[in-house]
Every structure is written in C-alpha cells, then in structure tokens.
Structure 1
C-alpha cells in the first residue's frame, strides 16, 4: 500500500501575467505526494485550469474520490488504462507522482524507464505577457540576449507589439501565442506581416470550435495547436492546417499519455512544442523529458513566479538545465534514489 497526500499551494507571480483571456497574479497548483511502506516518496504537481472547467477544489475532490484505487497501489500505465481519472490536472499530478515514486523504488531515473534522451541543457522560450507595444518592448530589451521569445498577443495592437519587440530584440527568434484571440480575417491579414517580422510560429490563432475555417490556410507562418489539442483522441479531429502540436502535461493527463501523443504526432509528420502552465519546477520536470524531441521548448513557468522551489531547474539567459543534486534539498523529481 501507498499513502496519498494532496496539497493546494499558492505561488505568487513577480508581476501580473496577461494573455488574451485575462490576467493572473498567482499560480494555484495541486501537489500529489505518494509514500510507500519503505518511506520512499514520489511527487507530482499540476495546475487546474479554469478555461477547461477545473479549479483547485474540483481537482482535489476528483483525486480524493479515487484515493483508495491510487493507494492500492498502481503504475502510471494502469492509471491511464483503467481511466481512474480523466485527462486533466488531476491525472497529471498523480501520474507524475507515480513515475517519481517508481524511479526511487527501482533506483532508475524516469528518463531511462521511458527510453527518452538523458536531460541536457536546452533553450526555452521566454514568455512576454500581453501589454502595450512599449511595455512589451521594455521587457524584450531586458532579455534581448535570450535565444527565443514567445509573445502573448490577442489585443488591439498586435502588429505594433511584434514590431516593437523585434526592434528591441533584433537577434531573438520569435514565436507568437494568440490564445484563441483572433478571427480568420485577422489571421489572414496578420500572418504575412508576422512573417516579415521574423515570427517563426503562430500558436492557436482561433478558438477550437472555428478550426474548420483553417483548412484552407496556407500562410507563411506555420500554425501550432494548443487549446485545439489535449490528448491522443484529438488527432482524429485536428485541422490539417496545424503543423505543430503543443503537448502540456495538464492537457494530456501526464507524462504517460504525453509520450503516446509524441509518438503518434511524429508518425503523422507533426512537429512538437512542449509547453507548460505557470507553475513551479516540479510541474516542469515531466515535460522536460520530451525536450529532446521538441522543435520548441516553452517551459519558463517558474521564471514568472516570485520564487521557485529551492530544488528547481537552473535557468540562465534563456536556457534551462536539470537541477543538480544537492544535499540541502530533496531531489526535484524522477531521480534514482541516493
């Protein structure tokens, strides 16, 4: 038997973070902790997302309703095969905790269990909150030596914002995330202008319900599905206009399904972005195992927080590295036992 403990944690942001749908000032996360009879511990963190009908309270209750099944215990694969929890933040947190515990019990890190590349240092996108052109340019200038910037758009001055960022950070690669904030007319108008400004990728320009309108899209900037893609069931209805999918643990329901999605996407010729919600390094860790397979890595959530976990990832000038072992802190996630 294992023991499951759940906690709701509140992590303030260092400044308000705005996207097309609204503004947030803190990350409220669910942390699942599993302890086995030998005292070994596995942890997982996920962000309940209101846009998908979740809250910390609803996800907490969802997990507690199947607590007995989780404690029997089970493997990450069984969690998915038995559909113990639906895809979403609850399953993602428990899935991560199961993988973490399994790594410690078997004395093998999760990347070996899942046959992924060993963790390296990778460039991650640094996300600029939606704001005025001047506000976004100020931030862009501060991080102008970073390799990749991701611009949140969906406002009234999108072209002006991208132009201001490009002028402030002429050497940075740029990708854009609209969070469903455009119409088809705006997409067709903006895409060529974005291409001229060096934008490499447009993420989720339209709401998913309007994706059929994308079927004739042949713009110069490739499209990436975010809100339109959650888990492997969505491949059947995914618009052919998308050349990329954004895999997030909270959408797939954890690493187990994320790996399945990555394999299926690759077999279909789709390219990968691995993304995140705003959360601590504990939530980034499972997603980081997919970094070696992704064209774009967007795992900068901890950089938006006032403070991260002390055992978190090392971020330096737009690059992120797996946290080193430290006798002062419990290993973050997915390690073999010491």
Structure 2
C-alpha cells in the first residue's frame, strides 16, 4: 500500500497571552501532517517546543524523508521521540482507523470518556491578574497555576482565594530551586494541591532523592519515554505523559502501562494546541489520574467539531474528527 505524506505549518492565534516561567506565547505554532491512502486521509498535529530545541522548521526538516519514503510506517518509527514523530504517528493512527474501520479506542483498549475533568490553566502574571483569571474559572474542579521563582506564595494565595472550591496543580516549569520548594512546603501542604509539577530543572532531579513531601510531585520535563521511568522512582510520585514528548500515541500507550506497573500516578498533558493535537490524548486522559488537556481552550479559533472545554470538563469532538474510523467531512479549516 502506498501512503502519500504532506506536512505544513499552521498558526493558531490565542485569545490571551500564555505565560510560563520560560516565556510567553500569543499563538500556537504547530505542524500538521496528512497521510492518504486508498481514498482515506489521516491527520496529526504536533507542537515544536523550544525547550527541546525544536522549531517549526526543524520539525518539517525531520519529516522531509518521510514525505518520499516507500515505507512510511518504518520512517515514522525511525524518527526520535518528539514533535516530528508525534504528528506522523498520530496521522498514521487516524489513517489506519479509517482504512480498517477499527477505531483507535478499539485498537488500544482506551475509550474516550464522555465527560473528562481537565485542568484549566491560569497563566503566569501578577497576583492580582492571576486572581482575576482564577475567579473567571472558579467553577472548574481542577486549576493549573503557572508560577516562577518571583513571589510564588503571593500568586498561590491569590488563586486559592479566588477559586476556593477547586483543587490545584502547581507548575513552575522547572523554575524553582529546592530551597524555594522547601520554603513553600507549609503553604502547599495547607492548600488543596493535587500535584506539584516539575518544580526543579530536570538536571536537578537528584535533589528530590529521599524527600517525602505532603503532596505529590509530578515529573514533566524529566520524563519523555518509557525508558526514563525507572530512574524517577524515589524522586517523583507521578509522571506527565505528553504526546509531543513521547513522539506519538504508540509510545504513550506503552508508557502508560509501564508507569502503572512502576506504581506512578499518571497525568496526561498537552501543549497549547488545536483539537487535532489534543483529541488523541483523550484516550490516555480517560485512563489517567489527572488530565491537563485545555490546550484548545486557549485558541481564538479551533477546528470545527473539535473538543470543547466548559467548566473544566471536556466534551469529545464530533464523530469523524479523529481516530474513530469515520471520515470527517466539513470538520477542517
């Protein structure tokens, strides 16, 4: 079977700036891959991430050999974990579902939940602005708080006061030192914290050895593929699976099983992306302890028929959007 492959850059404007400790973005710059065979088209999307020295151009360059490959599946498998492999892997999953009529849910045994709680992110800003942002989403059960080393306690208190009924994921994106983390321990222990996500730089993981905090610490930048998991025991109690880190759903499904076998809690996360990039992660989200899949919620305009986030809950995409074995006419911009 001959598979045609194409890739293109797409920019999705955000409805508000998205700030984390490493910087700010006003658009989701993604790479979209289309694979076609036997009259069917599969789609996938990924987000090149500067933290891993990825750009839109570098991802398109990585994908170039696959565009002319005789064996696209083999070309995909040969790519390293990251955004390029993710976009192609997701497109191939979608194509297989459409060709065979076997949905991704059936193939993986991971159905998409009809009502999934997702974290809703409060972007890094002044304490006053973060409090106002939290107040606007205070009916969400789970709120992610982006922080840096700049007075995180004031920002935590502002968000907690504005959303008294929510639980929180605290995410400094590697922006803290161990001293900051220890100083914040009493405050964090006093708040309804679900997770503290990647507080330290990935190369400072060893500082967490033997530490026993009264909250769950989750690895993000420190974990990419299944082979990374064993070294995290004794440092982290949870791991964040992201398709752009694992390099696609194929590795992510295997990694979910491996993480469970090693006793980790699991969060399924995403980059700021469209519904095309996040819909595949819903399969993992339904089998995880936590989901952080509000990426499309940040877009000014998403794909027609994509997933919806309302009051911190995800409504799945319309039939034919991705991976259910149906063709999605009229669903694409």
Question: Within 5 A, what are the aligned runs for 1:167-316?
Answer: 167-316=161-310
The answer to whether the Cα contact below 8 Å between 1:214 and 1:239 also exists between their aligned partners in 2 is no
Match of 1:42 in 2: 42
Secondary structure in 2 matching 1:293: coil
Cα deviation digits, residues 200-226 of structure 1 (max 9, x gap)? 210000001110011021111110000
Structure 2 runs not aligned, ≥5 long: 328-333
Q: 1:52 to 1:200 in 2, by over 3 A?
A: same
Deviations 1:29-58 (A, max 9, x none): 00000010x210000000000110110001
- Distance in 2 of aligned mates of 1:33 and 1:176: 36
The answer to whether the Cα contact below 8 Å between 1:130 and 1:136 also exists between their aligned partners in 2 is yes
Q: Offset of 1:118 from its aligned partner?
A: 4.2
Shift of 1:79: 5.5
The reply on whether 1:63 has 2:57 as its aligned counterpart is no
Please tell me whether the aligned partners of residues 100 and 325 of structure 2 are also in contact (alpha carbons under 8 angstroms).
yes
Which is worse superposed, 193-202 or 55-64?
Answer: 193-202
Q: Which residue of structure 2 lines up, in the alignment, with residue 52 of structure 1? A: 52
Structure 1 moving runs of 4+ over 4 Å: none
Are 1:111 and 2:105 matched, yes or no? yes
The 3-state SS of whatever aligns with 1:65 is helix
Q: Give deviations 1:63-116, integer Å, cap 9, x for gaps.
A: 1123333x5343xxx566xx4211000000000000000000011211101111
Task: Mark the CA change 1:118 to 1:198 in structure 2 (over 3 Å): closer, same or farther.
Answer: closer
Residue 323 of structure 2 is aligned to residue 334 of structure 1: yes
**Matched residue, 1:29:** 30
CA RMSD, Structure 1 to Structure 2 (Å): 1.3
TM-score after normalising by structure 2: 0.95
| Contact 1:79 1:95 (8 Å CA) reproduced | no
> In structure 1, what is the Cα distance between the partners aligned to 2:66 and 2:322?
23
TM-score (norm 1): 0.93
